[in-house]
Structure 1
């Protein structure tokens, strides 16, 4: 599945206000929940998330090959419910130098997973073997 601004426009929007963290100034971010992106792609969630699906990972890669990994369980609303936004605007303006997309995790104490210039989101299925 290819994500662009048009694809995101059809998904529920969310926003978050953040205070200054590390070298980032306070900002108003807007985009879509990573959970909604995964749901749109048909990734298992809720009651489907059990067994080998619990070992499923979501890897997000930036243009400089910086990567962060989440377990599907930590993102699922019925389990970890980690809030992750795939942001496409900051303070009402489209992302330019950090864009077109950036991850924003308001619950993180430092922005190491706030990767900018997101290029791919891979879902790595859990091993069905025991």
Structure 2
């Protein structure tokens, strides 16, 4: 991705943005030591640091009604990587009123900065590493549409 890796925040946001890893470092950082199973490389253990996805999205002004709870449950996040990999996270996973998972957009891995490659999605409660999206290029927030009726 080069030295100017950017993450596009878009969808149901009052303040869509394009952020660099440096921009992400301006948000409160958290450090997590995680382990997960990688199908290709076996067990992985890494230390990540970066802002919580919750903080990144709250700064972008999610267009979600926070006066109640049930309406928040239909919102999803789609996180895309430079290699085309994509993972979905539900809003309830990151919302403190529900699971409150500290999912990160990591700015460093094992002490090495991720400025050139772009941030990495870190889902610490996952045993499988499939939702660890490297080189994140976009985070979309939006509601799940009504399912089509099956006939």
TM norm structure 2: 0.72
1:27 and 1:11 map into 2 onto residues whose CA distance is 21
Number of the residue aligned with 2:57: 38
Q: How far does residue 95 in structure 1 lie from its aligned partner after superposition?
A: 2.5
Q: 1:116 aligns with which of 125, 129, 134?
A: 134
How many correspondences in the alignment? 127
1:52 and 1:28 map into 2 onto residues whose CA distance is 35
Q: 1:16 aligns with which of 28, 32, 55?
A: 32
Unaligned 5+ residue runs, structure 2? 1-16, 147-151
TM norm structure 1: 0.83
Q: 1:4 aligns with which of 7, 15, 20?
A: 20
SS of the residue corresponding to residue 26 of structure 1 reads: strand
- Give the helix-richer structure, 1 or 2: 1
Number of the residue aligned with 2:110: 91
Deviations 1:26-72 (A, max 9, x none): 22111110011111111157944535443111110111221111121
Are the aligned partners of 1:94 and 1:100 in contact in 2 as well (CA < 8 Å)? no
Are the aligned partners of 1:39 and 1:45 in contact in 2 as well (CA < 8 Å)? no
- Give the strand-richer structure, 1 or 2: 2
Please tell me the root mean square deviation across aligned C-alpha atoms, in Å.
Answer: 2.5
- Which has the larger Rg? 2
Q: 2:69 aligns with which of 50, 56, 60?
A: 50
Number of the residue aligned with 2:121: 103
Unaligned 5+ residue runs, structure 1? none
